[in-house]
Amino acid sequence: MQYLGLAVLTGCFGLLLLFITLRLGWRLEWLLGWLKGCALLVLLALCGGLALLAWEFSRFQPIVDGARIATLDFRQLADKQHEVHLAPAMSSPLPLHGDLWELDVQVLRWRGLPHMLGLEDGYRLDRLRGRYLTLEQQQQMGSGLSHSLHGTPAWRDAWHWLDQLNLSWLYADAFTIRFMPIADGARFAVEIGVTGLSPVAMNTQALDAMKGLE
């Protein structure tokens, strides 16, 4: 009986509020105006979202098999501390700590009708990371070893959202180069293909560094 009484009391209170609301001036015109305002806000939010999506798409480039998408030039500053000139993504050098470097690339792949219509898969340089050979040093540095190469936060990163949505006609893929050596004066190029990335040693310092890891 206790909970039945509480239910009746709550229901009566709700009916009282409804009666007061109607007496204070409920009008159909007000409801229509409110709905119209909400619809306009939704449309404005959609326009803003489409503008951000257009900007994100403009940052991607078509994948051309065998194309060179980046070069990395390393200069040693101190023990296990280097700066790297990454062209053409960055105009100024980036500090990089560790024994190895890794590069992530975001990839958009078209499927179904868009693919049949000729839309090309695209890529964008995503992240450059340093890595230590020892786990202890790696854990000490943590996120300080990583640099974003496009500056888009995760909340408006089109690639990130597509990766979550798992659409049937467009999906997010990723290419990665891992465990490449860092050496003073070394110069590497990065080539892209339909299946991934290929590092290319461009001078003797880079070749010697790669032999040192074998």
User: How confident is the prediction for the chain on average, in pLDDT?
Assistant: 89
Confidence of residue 13 (pLDDT cuts 50, 70, 90): confident
Whole-structure pTM value: 0.80
| Cβ atoms of residues 63 and 97 within 8 Å | no
| Cβ atoms of residues 157 and 59 within 8 Å | no
Neighbours of 51 (CB within 10 A): 10
In angstroms, what CA-CA distances link 167 with 110, 161, 173, 207?
10, 10, 12, 42
Model confidence pLDDT, tens digit, residues 140-187: 766 567 899 998 888 889 899 989 988 889 999 999 999 999 999 999
| Cβ atoms of residues 60 and 73 within 8 Å | no
Confidence of residue 129 (pLDDT cuts 50, 70, 90): very high
- 121-130, 157-166, 203-212, range with greatest mean pLDDT: 121-130
